[in-house]
Structure 1
Amino acid sequence: MSILKIARMGHPILAAVAEPVQDPTSHAIKALANDMIETLYDTAGNGLAATQVHVPQRVIIFFQTNEEWSFDRLDEPPARRFRPPADNRLSVPLTLLVNPEYEPVGDDTVEGYEGCLSIPGLAGKVRRYRTIRYRGITPDGQLVERTAEGAHAQVVQHECDHLDGILYPERMTDLKDLTFMTELKLRQGEA
């Protein structure tokens, strides 16, 4: 397994639409899956798209904890590897999907701050569907179909946007809501 380099905003791969994977169970996809897992573990993120690691294919990985997402982790030096918490703290287990797609369940939306490994140090307020239904294939060939809401729905929509060449600032309605994570953390501490 290898830790892959993460593309940063401005790199052309992040603006491109990813190609569908013809064989989700291929050796190449399994190798990519392992590398994406290792790369995610090396970051402070909870989701990653293949395009972020310079692979123009429709593959995403994510997990979600039972706890509120915290910007504190982003202050840790990269040398301190982050591992997802124990299973009893996960509301959504580590999930890797090939050719994922989602659809909204209703018209309800919610705004929340998002960060992105491709835009380090910044966070922006983005409006997303509150509840979605998503599906995809695992590298083992299993179909995954779930209904998600809240932060779970947010991370899936964020990662799927990467596959369509969209970064979260493009979803923002007011760039005044783009901030450094350290400033956001200070504001949250004052509340």
Structure 2
Amino acid sequence: MPSSSLTDLVDELLAGSGPLPIVSAGAPVLRRPTEPLDGRLDGRRLDRLIEAMRETMRAAPGVGLAAPQVGLPLRLAVIEDAAEVSEEIRQVRGRVPQPFRVLIDPSYEPAGSGRAAFFEGCLSVPGWGAVVARHESVRLRALDERGRTVDEVFTGWPARIVQHETDHLDGVLYLDRAELRSLSSREAVSGLWAQPTPAAAAEALGFELGTDSGA
């Protein structure tokens, strides 16, 4: 996409007030690899876009938001997690608070062989959740909003968030990696399958967790 078209699209998106509209599954922008930011937005536009994405993520609410989810084919995502969960879930899932962070042109690779399987949801697939086996730890490489290098290992739930959001930038939805027999409504996830691990769901619905650890 030419820079002029991109800036016009960003300006149009930012012209409204309140949270940005979130694109739902079926929109082509969610299925196409994104383009590197690479200075294609000036600092003022980028700052405004990041703030709008933060507002949108918090209002949803969610723990991450990628640019394609607001209709922009840019390799940009934001993450934040207050991790307001029980101590048991915190321990089992490795869910610890994450401050607001901006990821520009991110990529990840496994940091170790461990995998863990848990229910995930997505703001672009509202009302549903499914079990996804992911790397327990990943090494993230990216830039932050000031162009500083990020090279960091994430473990537990923060690693899951990083993988989920970076996948969005490659045109991948969490359902592409999910055990589809686990697909459950939001009500089922919060009611029937609210345990710290999806083991009960796996037994009842007849699917494998896809991890040697049994998480």
Letter in 1 for 2:168: H
Native 8 Å contact 2:96 2:158 kept in 1: no
What is the distance in 1 between the residues matched to 2:141 and 2:187? 35
> TM-score, normalized by length of structure 1?
0.82
1:77-156 to structure 2, matched below 5 A, reads: 91-156=97-162
Deviation at 1:184, TM superposition (A): 1.4
Larger RCO (CA within 8 A; separation ≥ 6): 1
Residue equivalent to 2:23: 7
Counting aligned pairs with the same residue, the percent is 35
Q: Does 1:33 align with 2:19?
A: no
Deviation at 1:103, TM superposition (A): 1.1
Q: Does 1:177 align with 2:196?
A: no
Letter in 2 for 1:104: P
Aligned-residue CA RMSD (Å): 2.1
Letter in 2 for 1:50: A
Letter in 2 for 1:151: W
Query: Which range moves more in the overlay, 18-27 or 178-187?
Result: 18-27
Deviation at 1:15, TM superposition (A): 0.4
What is the distance in 1 between the residues matched to 2:112 and 2:96? 26
What is the distance in 1 between the residues matched to 2:76 and 2:98? 17
Deviation at 1:150, TM superposition (A): 1.0
Native 8 Å contact 2:62 2:123 kept in 1: yes
Relative to structure 1, the CA distance from residue 25 to residue 151 in structure 2 (aligned partners, 3 Å threshold; closer, same or farther) is farther
Q: Which runs of 5+ in 2 are unaligned?
A: 1-16, 87-94, 201-215
What is the distance in 1 between the residues matched to 2:194 and 2:132? 21
What is the distance in 2 between the residues matched to 1:116 and 1:166? 12
